[in-house]
Amino acid sequence: MEKFICVFSSSSSVLDRQYFEAAQELGTKMARRGFGLIFGGGVVGLMGQTARAVHESNGRVVGVIPEALNEKGIVYERCDELIVTKGLRERKAIMDERAFAFIALPGGFGTLEELLEIITLKQLRCHNKPIVILNVNGFYNGLIQVFENIIEQRFAKVTSRDLYHVAENVDEALSYIENYVPVQWESKWLTDVDRESED
């Protein structure tokens, strides 16, 4: 059974070339390693670049797009399977359910929202799938520092670092997914007892 990686990424077409190169490499190597792509169904930006790269290496592409965006010039029409949803929440639920793993390429507010939601769902034990932040050219350094501040100031447990993996390149990201062992979680909640034990 083919395994699909859900890739969160930008729909902007005016990005630096290095980000398109990273998306191209990711799509190519995903397909060569036997992974399919499930994504937001867009044809522009890093979304389209990743999908085209998967197809160029004979991989399978599943797009999930809200009906309001299912228009020529927006949707990636070459999807092997295109699922049209009523809205964004249904779109994300389908991608979350069908994905074997998640990778976040650099992106804007929508990408951040998708990434943070899938991390939160893992924290709440709704899934135990690998999540990779692909930190191309240090793009996510600021966000990772925010995560560290959250942990250091006890808004989350130290073990929250195990919710996600930060990869500096595509090979590292895919190797992490291929070798992923589901984490055995303790209780999510950070209680007064936990605080006293850490003092």
Print pLDDT tens along the chain (199 aa): 689 999 999 999 999 999 999 999 999 999 999 999 999 999 999 999 999 999 999 999 999 999 999 999 999 999 999 999 999 999 999 999 999 999 999 999 999 999 999 999 999 999 999 999 999 999 999 999 999 999 999 999 999 999 999 999 999 999 999 999 997 776 655 555 455 444 4
pLDDT of residue 191: 55
What angle, rounded to 10 degrees, do the helices at 17-32 and 45-56 form? Answer: 40
CA distance 117 to 169: 23
pLDDT of residue 190: 53
Q: Which two three-digit tokens encode residue 149?
A: 């501040």
CB contact set of 138 (below 8 Å; sequence gap of 6+): none
pTM equals 0.92
User: Between the CA of residue 42 and those of 12, 102, 195, what are the distances in Å?
Assistant: 10, 17, 45
CA distance 60 to 158: 37
CA distance 76 to 51: 8
CATH class of 3-198: alpha beta
pLDDT of residue 125: 92
pLDDT of residue 162: 95
pLDDT of residue 196: 43
pLDDT of residue 47: 97
Q: Which two three-digit tokens encode residue 140?
A: 């996510």
CA distance 136 to 183: 26
Beta strand residue intervals within the chain, DSSP E: 3-8, 35-39, 61-66, 81-85, 101-104, 131-134, 165-167
CA distance 51 to 136: 18
Cβ(34)–Cβ(3) under 8 Å?
Answer: yes
pLDDT of residue 2: 82
Q: Which two three-digit tokens encode residue 54?
A: 């998967």
